[in-house]
Structure 1
Amino acid sequence: MLNSIETAAKNFCIHQLAMECNSIDINIQKRTFIAYIDISLKDNSKYRAYIAANESFIQSVATLFLEEEKSDKDTLQDMALETANLIVGSAKVIAEDSAQPYEIGTPNFYTIDVFDLAYDEIKVLSSGNNELILAIKELDVAK
């Protein structure tokens, strides 16, 4: 599942933001805008996909979509939600042809803070000062 999200995120970086994002091996310890979308598999297992990005990355999205060079906090939070929706939505389409298709919920904004949430898998993408964290956590739900 994280592989499809990583592919979608790299496609978003290249095709929307015109930046090459490469995987890095470290979890950044910077202030990030954290959004999430819950994912449901056909076997009723549930996961939470976290999309967290530093302000520079989110401002790049705001500049692209809103043509704003300096956005306020509320606008950046909205752009974090939109980024999560576009990436995870695209990942859902990518996963349709795989052995693990899934359904997604609506994006939720979590907080602006260092990404120190529990996760099962994580990928970090970087391009210059722009950093994007992709993480998956299986949710503990009764089946």
Structure 2
Amino acid sequence: MNNILYQSCENFAKSLGIDIVKCNDDNIKGFVSEVDIKGDLNYKVYVVLPKEKLDMVSEIFFGDTNYDIEDLSKEIANLIVGNANVVASEKNINFDISIPKFLGEYKNLEYDDKICLKSNGIKFFVLYKEE
């Protein structure tokens, strides 16, 4: 799952014209949206985005930073996990994804593994837990 989610994050970053690098950090902060994966793989995926990352994406998408935190958080989670579905299908792994749910600011979530990514000095996280 790690490789599928990482590749989908890379694809998302490329669509924005930014570079991302893996990082190693346990200091998880930001707004959380959850997407469930059901099918050949069954996971809860949590995309955690700090306000600075949301500001950056909003500036790229809309040309300003006037946005709804919940809507933008869910849209980014949908784009990342939706692309993971495409990446997985290329490997003959099939699953459906749920509509993203906004969980608010990060508070200790149970997860099996995480991906820490950084772009323009701003970290964000993708956490996942097998169901």
**Aligned residue in 1 for 2:45:** 49
Per-residue CA shift, 1:4-41, capped at 9, x if unaligned?
1111111211222x2211001112343x0100100012
Task: Give, as a single letter, the amino acid of the residue that structure 1 aligns with 2:109.
Answer: L
Task: Give, as a single letter, the amino acid of the residue that structure 1 aligns with 2:90.
Answer: D
Looking at structure 1, the residues matched to 111 and 129 of structure 2 have their Cα atoms a distance apart, in angstroms, of 5
Q: Does the 8 A contact of 1:62 with 1:76 survive in 2? A: no
Looking at structure 2, the residues matched to 107 and 40 of structure 1 have their Cα atoms a distance apart, in angstroms, of 13
**Aligned residue in 2 for 1:11:** 11
Pair 1:59-2:55 in alignment: yes
Q: Does the 8 A contact of 2:28 with 2:106 survive in 1? A: no
Which runs of 5 or more structure 1 residues have no equivalent in the other structure? none
**Aligned residue in 1 for 2:126:** 134
Pair 1:76-2:82 in alignment: no
Which runs of 5 or more structure 2 residues have no equivalent in the other structure? none
Looking at structure 2, the residues matched to 38 and 129 of structure 1 have their Cα atoms a distance apart, in angstroms, of 29
DSSP-derived class of the 2:127 partner: strand
**Aligned residue in 1 for 2:34:** 36
Looking at structure 2, the residues matched to 126 and 101 of structure 1 have their Cα atoms a distance apart, in angstroms, of 28
CA RMSD of superposed structures (Å): 1.7
Per-residue CA shift, 1:60-95, capped at 9, x if unaligned?
1211222223x35xx122111000000100110010
Q: Between the two proteins, what is the percent identity of the paired residues? A: 25
DSSP-derived class of the 1:7 partner: helix
**Aligned residue in 2 for 1:107:** 100
When residues 63 and 37 of structure 1 are mapped into structure 2, their CA distance, relative to the original with a 3 A threshold, is same
Task: Give, as a single letter, the amino acid of the residue that structure 2 aligns with 1:38.
Answer: D
Task: Give, as a single letter, the amino acid of the residue that structure 1 aligns with 2:85.
Answer: K
TM-score by length of 1: 0.82
DSSP-derived class of the 1:50 partner: strand
* Number of residue pairs matched by the alignment: 131
Looking at structure 2, the residues matched to 29 and 87 of structure 1 have their Cα atoms a distance apart, in angstroms, of 18
**Aligned residue in 1 for 2:21:** 22
Looking at structure 2, the residues matched to 78 and 59 of structure 1 have their Cα atoms a distance apart, in angstroms, of 13
